[in-house]
Amino acid sequence: MATILAVDDSASMRQMVSFTLKGAGYDVIEAVDGVDALNKAKGSSPDAVLTDVNMPNMDGITLITELRKLPNYKHTPMLMLTTESSGDMKGKGKSAGATGWLVKPFNPDKLLATIKKVVA
């Protein structure tokens, strides 16, 4: 089954995302910020990356930029978790190479629907 790399500095969000995805049969790799995610990404090959934007140590946009530099991740779908108010965040994300976004707050169904859009 497909593997998702889920990055968020909020433990409750990580838990919710992980639980939802695993319940639908996905494998999940969790990371707490950009640095953690980059390390874990180098040692694995997830089918998609889901990342929050505002995180300490390395934010989501920087993470996406860095991931795109890795040969394995040139075409990996990468989704940002954004909030309604961050209008230009979507633009910034796309410029960094993000595939798309998922707007917070989201419910488990929306999460799964969005993941399905990018994972076969």
Any idea which residue has 């798309």 for tokens?
Answer: 100
Over the window 68 to 87, marking each residue x when it contacts another protein by CB under 8 A and - when it does not, the resulting string is x-----xxxxx--x-x-x--
| Residue 104 found at the interface with another protein (CB under 8 A) | yes
| Residue 99 found at the interface with another protein (CB under 8 A) | yes
Closer residue to another protein in complex, CB, 12/43: 12
Over the window 13 to 52, marking each residue x when it contacts another protein by CB under 8 A and - when it does not, the resulting string is x-xx--xx--xx---------------------------x
Alpha helices by DSSP H, listed for 26-86, are 34-42, 60-69
| Residue 56 found at the interface with another protein (CB under 8 A) | yes
Any idea which residue has 């889901």 for tokens?
Answer: 50
Size of the site for another protein (CB under 8 A): 41
**Which of 44-73 are b and which e, b meaning 16 or more Cβ less than 10 Å from the residue's Cβ?**
eebbbbbbbbebeebbbbbbbbbbeeeeeb
What CA–CA distance (Å, rounded) separates 100 from 81?
9
What CA–CA distance (Å, rounded) separates 25 from 115?
12
- Interface with another protein by CB under 8 A: which residues? 9-13, 15-16, 19-20, 23-24, 52, 54-56, 68, 74-78, 81, 83, 85, 91, 94, 97-101, 104-109, 112, 117-118, 120
